[in-house]
């Protein structure tokens, strides 16, 4: 199956029923045993070949999307339904504000996107396990020798007939495929999050922070359209899942000095804070709606198109899996608040970032139309107005009780070590991200080392895998 998916000649109709190959790639555990998967991923030759095919497919899909974007800004609908998110096709989600769609004009593009989505979905399935996957991680997040820049390392690989490191190509796919072929972008986000969570130092050191942050911001703009007062229950559910898949990557943006400096400039703190406010409103208004509970497990009988709306990073967050599956909207709210708290703890001025919003009713009538359009509040002011609502959500789901302290610290304008992080330990609320990510089979950042603990079995913690 892997060889078939890797073939450059594959087309969407090569396997029975066309989309069946996507079901195989996305539900690997249903037909392959852990022993079979481990045997394949323990073969260095096979893993190297797989990552080579994956890198080639990712690069080609990104290049095609970049070329097509010059002639159209529509979502490009391809013949294989498995290559699309369900709301992207012609037959789905025609409602107010849906994005324009047009048929992909080139058969070669259809085949390239099909190959890329199959291989990316396979890689996500491999890495979304609790198992270490050492060889695959090392082939994905390469160790660049000390004293050599990423540019020099990449140039030398290309000169020898190789491709850039996969994490670099994933950023390119995220940037170029976000509008034309959204599913490629969603899979790229999941892969980046899974790799960065296991090897944060090695993978982030390979990347240029500017294109990565810019690509994530563009991706988030489309995601936010799905969760900000969305008219479509299917799109809203996908938006929530996409936020959860992105959360581990966002979490490490604050720890990475290069991206930390770009967070305020890119307006990411206010984007996330605005999303939190909207999601709180949705959770309280529609969270327990009997017709469609957006804050509950997906009802596949009512909405079969939600079968592909998965949290690919769920098993990284092993201590948080229950709330992710049972209360996904609540989990998304708590995760974004935890990300903002982490950024503040790392010195980012989160509390003073400005959110564009509607003025309060008591002053709105006294403002001119121009002032109303330009009205904004700080994150601290906005969160003050939602503090009681967060208490209601915490009472409904006690595992997110930790968000209260983080929000209080943001309201008080605390930054650096004055900000609050979720506590570690069994007898406290450890957060949905912090404690699980510390124990997510994180690898040492030293070249060639795959240790997940220090010599005395202490976990690799603040060093982000550096072994200090």
**DSSP H or E segment with residue 102:** strand 101-103
Q: How far apart are CA 73 and CA 226, in angstroms?
A: 18
Among candidates 102, 60, 110, 52, which has minimal Cα distance to 82? 110
How high is the pLDDT of residue 427?
44
How high is the pLDDT of residue 88?
74
C-alpha to C-alpha distances, 126 to 26, 375, 415, 442, nearest whole angstrom: 10, 47, 38, 16
Percent helix, percent strand, percent coil in the chain, to nearest 5: 60, 5, 40
C-alpha to C-alpha distances, 269 to 246, 338, 420, nearest whole angstrom: 14, 12, 16
pTM: 0.89
Among candidates 19, 26, 25, which has minimal Cα distance to 1? 25
How high is the pLDDT of residue 424?
52
CB 79 within 8 A of CB 106: no
Q: What is the mean pLDDT of each run of 10 residues along the chain (468 residues)?
A: 80 56 86 91 94 95 88 80 76 64 83 92 91 86 78 86 92 92 94 91 87 94 83 86 95 85 91 93 73 80 85 80 89 95 90 85 79 86 92 91 91 75 57 78 58 57 42
How high is the pLDDT of residue 462?
43
Q: How far apart are CA 290 and CA 271, in angstroms?
A: 30
CB 426 within 8 A of CB 417: no
- Which class for 151: exposed (0-12), middle (13-18), buried (19 or more C-beta within 10 A)? exposed
CB 112 within 8 A of CB 297: no
Q: How far apart are CA 27 and CA 121, in angstroms?
A: 9
How high is the pLDDT of residue 446?
54
């Amino acid at each position: 199956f892997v060889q078939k998916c890797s073939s450059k000649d594959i087309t969407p109709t090569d396997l029975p029923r066309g989309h069946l190959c996507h079901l195989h790639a996305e539900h690997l555990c249903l037909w392959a045993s852990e022993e079979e998967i481990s045997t394949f991923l323990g073969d260095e030759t096979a893993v190297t070949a797989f990552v080579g095919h994956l890198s080639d497919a990712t690069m080609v899909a990104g290049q095609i999307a970049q070329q097509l974007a010059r002639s159209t800004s529509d979502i490009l609908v391809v013949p294989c339904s498995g290559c699309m998110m369900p709301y992207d096709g012609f037959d789905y989600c025609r409602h107010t504000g849906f994005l324009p769609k047009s048929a992909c004009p080139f058969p070669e593009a259809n085949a390239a996107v099909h190959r890329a989505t199959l291989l990316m979905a396979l890689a996500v399935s491999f890495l979304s396990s609790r198992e270490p996957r050492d060889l695959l991680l090392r082939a994905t997040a390469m160790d660049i020798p000390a004293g050599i820049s990423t540019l020099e390392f990449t140039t030398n690989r290309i000169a020898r007939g190789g491709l850039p490191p996969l994490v670099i190509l994933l950023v390119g796919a995220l940037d170029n495929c976000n509008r034309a072929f959204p599913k490629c972008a969603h899979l790229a986000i999941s892969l980046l999050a899974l790799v960065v969570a296991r090897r944060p130092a090695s993978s982030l050191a390979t990347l240029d922070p500017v294109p990565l942050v810019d690509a994530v911001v563009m991706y988030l703009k489309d995601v936010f359209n799905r969760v900000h007062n969305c008219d479509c229950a299917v799109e809203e559910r996908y938006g929530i899942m996409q936020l959860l898949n992105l959360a581990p990557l966002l979490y490490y943006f604050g720890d990475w000095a290069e991206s930390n400096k770009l967070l305020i400039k890119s307006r990411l703190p206010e984007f996330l804070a605005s999303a939190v406010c909207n999601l709180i409103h949705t959770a309280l208004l529609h969270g327990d709606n009997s017709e469609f509970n957006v804050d509950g497990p997906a009802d596949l009988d009512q909405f079969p198109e939600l079968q592909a709306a998965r949290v690919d990073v769920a098993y990284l967050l092993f201590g948080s899996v229950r709330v992710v599956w049972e209360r996904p909207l609540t989990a998304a709210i708590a995760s974004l608040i935890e990300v903002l708290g982490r950024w503040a703890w790392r010195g980012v001025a989160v509390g003073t970032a400005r959110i564009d919003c509607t003025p309060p009713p008591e002053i709105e009538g006294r403002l001119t139309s121009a002032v109303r359009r330009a009205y904004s509040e700080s994150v601290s002011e906005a969160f003050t107005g939602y503090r009681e609502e967060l208490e209601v959500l915490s009472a409904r789901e006690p595992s997110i009780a930790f968000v209260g302290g983080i929000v209080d610290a943001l309201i008080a304008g605390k930054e650096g070590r004055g900000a609050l992080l979720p506590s570690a330990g069994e007898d406290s609320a450890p957060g949905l991200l912090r404690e699980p990510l510390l124990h997510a089979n994180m690898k040492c950042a030293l070249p060639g080392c795959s240790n997940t603990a220090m010599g005395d079995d202490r976990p690799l913690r603040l060093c982000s895998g550096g072994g200090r």
